[in-house]
C-alpha cells in the first residue's frame, strides 16, 4: 500500500527505486521485490529513465490508481477507528513516534 501511495504522489513521472525506498520504511532490496510483485499484478510499470539510462522508474498504472481509490476510504476508516479514543496530545505523540520510527 505504501509503495502504491508513494508512486501515486509521483504520478505520472514515477520514481526511482531508491526514491521509493526513502519514502517507505522498507530497505531497498525489499522495495525491489515489492515493486516486482506489483509489476506482475499490473499495478506498477517499470520504464527506463530517459535522463539516466542506468536507472529505471516505477510508475503506478491506471489499475493501481483504481485500486487505491477503492481501498483508501477503508484504510482511512480503519485509522479513524484506531485513533478515535486518543486525545489531541496523544495523537501528536503518536505522530512524533511514527516519524522517529520511519527515520
pLDDT digits (tens, 9 = 90+) for 38-94: 999 999 999 887 777 778 899 999 999 999 999 999 999 999 999 999 999 999 999
Q: Count structural domains, the chain.
A: 1
Q: What is the pLDDT of residue 31?
A: 87
* DSSP letter (8 states) at residue 50: S
pLDDT top residue among 3 and 51: 3
Q: What is the pLDDT of residue 61?
A: 97
Confidence check: pLDDT of 100 > 90: no
Task: Provide the CATH number for the domain around residue 69.
Answer: 1.10.10.10
Residue from 1, 53, 41, 2 nearest 23 by CA: 2
Q: What is the pLDDT of residue 18?
A: 83
pTM: 0.78
Domain around 14: 2-102
Q: Which residue has the cell 510499470?
A: 45
Would you place residue 26 in the very low, low, confident or very high pLDDT band (cuts 50, 70, 90)? Answer: low
Q: What is the pLDDT of residue 17?
A: 84
| C-alpha cell read off for 27 | 530497505
Q: What is the pLDDT of residue 55?
A: 81
Q: Which residue has the cell 539516466?
A: 52
Amino acid at each position: 500500500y505504501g509503495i502504491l501511495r508513494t508512486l501515486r504522489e509521483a504520478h505520472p513521472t514515477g520514481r526511482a527505486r531508491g526514491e521509493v525506498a526513502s519514502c517507505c520504511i522498507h530497505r531497498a532490496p525489499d522495495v525491489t521485490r515489492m515493486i516486482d510483485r506489483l509489476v506482475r499484478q499490473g499495478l506498477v510499470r517499470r520504464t527506463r529513465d530517459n535522463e539516466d539510462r542506468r536507472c529505471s522508474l516505477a510508475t503506478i498504472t491506471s489499475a493501481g490508481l483504481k485500486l487505491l481509490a477503492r481501498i483508501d476510504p477503508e484504510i482511512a476508516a480503519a485509522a479513524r477507528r484506531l485513533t478515535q479514543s486518543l486525545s489531541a496530545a496523544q495523537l501528536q505523540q503518536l505522530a512524533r513516534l511514527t516519524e522517529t520510527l520511519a527515520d
